[in-house]
């Protein structure tokens, strides 16, 4: 394990994702903890993670973590379902800082369904991971889980084609079979997908709930900060830094699109 010197409470929360999708988690962190400083790293140069091997994802996650720690991060939020599934246990063994991961919200969906059918839209890496299979077997053994790989949706968000007709057609292609199987809960198992919620709702009946795990991640992050007495005591607005391994113009354009401020 790599031991790090105790960070100051004013130090930032580090957040990384395979690309821009983790900004859906960043948004929830800012809402819940507006005084916390946050550093975000988008590994868009290696995006998407969903079709990479587990070993590749682990290596990239270690690199992303090392970068955020070099910037003084006091804890790390792995704002990527695929990276959480493949790498979070390795990261916890290797680095002596708290890690918060994100997983498809199978438990609440299985508890709330009235039809006994739930859908999960996620990447190949997440759906085929041992971590997801364990969660599905533990929490959804009494319901039918309809799984769908969202091929192309990560790229649609990265390319800011969120409102494009071809993106709507992809979503129809993936969600229509779920509707035919009478699902009433659809889990978004990738942090890129919440940016597609307005389009998803265009084709869903009102009674179907779309579950975004990002708010739960923010709540867990705050809980860990409070328990470890590591929350920022300052009351002024937090400062935010954004980095990418890809095209900086794409990152900046997306931050403008979602109304994020750099300071």
Active site residues: 80, 190
- Cα(233)–Cα(248) distance, integer angstroms: 32
Would you say 229 and 223 are in contact if contact means Cβ atoms under 8 Å apart?
no
- Cα(153)–Cα(168) distance, integer angstroms: 10
Question: Which residue do the tokens 């959804």 mark?
Answer: 140
- Cα(133)–Cα(200) distance, integer angstroms: 25
Q: What burial letters (b/e) apply to 11-45, b meaning 16+ CB within 10 Å?
A: bbbbbbbbbbbbbbbbbbbbeebeebbbbbbbbbe
| Chain centre to alpha carbon of residue 4 | 25
| Joined tokens for residue 10 | 């004013």
Would you say 134 and 104 are in contact if contact means Cβ atoms under 8 Å apart?
no
Question: Which residue do the tokens 């509707």 mark?
Answer: 179
Q: Helices 81-94 and 54-70 meet at what angle, rounded to 10?
A: 60
| Joined tokens for residue 136 | 């599905």
Cis geometry, peptide bond prior to residue 3 (ω within 30 degrees of 0): no
| Chain centre to alpha carbon of residue 171 | 19
């Amino acid at each position: 394990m790599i031991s790090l010197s105790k960070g100051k409470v004013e130090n930032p929360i580090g957040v990384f994702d395979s690309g821009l999708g983790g900004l859906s988690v960043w948004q929830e962190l800012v809402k819940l903890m507006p005084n916390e400083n946050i550093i975000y790293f988008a590994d868009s140069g290696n995006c998407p993670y969903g079709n990479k091997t587990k070993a590749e994802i682990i290596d990239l996650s270690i690199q992303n973590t090392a970068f955020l720690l070099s910037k003084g991060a006091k804890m790390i939020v792995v704002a990527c379902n695929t990276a959480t599934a493949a790498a979070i246990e390795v990261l916890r063994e290797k680095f002596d800082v708290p890690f918060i991961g994100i997983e498809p919200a199978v438990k609440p969906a299985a508890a709330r369904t009235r039809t006994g059918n739930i859908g999960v839209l996620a990447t190949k890496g997440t759906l085929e991971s041992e971590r997801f299979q364990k969660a599905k077997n533990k929490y959804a053994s009494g319901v039918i889980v309809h799984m769908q790989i969202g091929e192309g949706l990560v790229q649609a968000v990265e390319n800011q084609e969120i409102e494009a007709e071809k993106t709507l057609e992809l979503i129809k292609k993936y969600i229509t079979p779920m509707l035919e199987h009478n699902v009433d809960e659809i889990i978004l198992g990738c942090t890129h997908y919440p940016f597609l919620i307005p389009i998803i709702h265009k084709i869903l009946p009102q009674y179907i709930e779309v579950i975004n795990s990002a708010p739960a991640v923010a709540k867990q992050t705050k809980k860990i900060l409070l328990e470890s007495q590591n929350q920022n005591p300052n009351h002024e607005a937090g400062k935010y830094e954004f980095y990418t391994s890809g095209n900086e113009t794409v990152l900046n354009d997306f931050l403008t699109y979602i109304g994020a401020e750099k300071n």
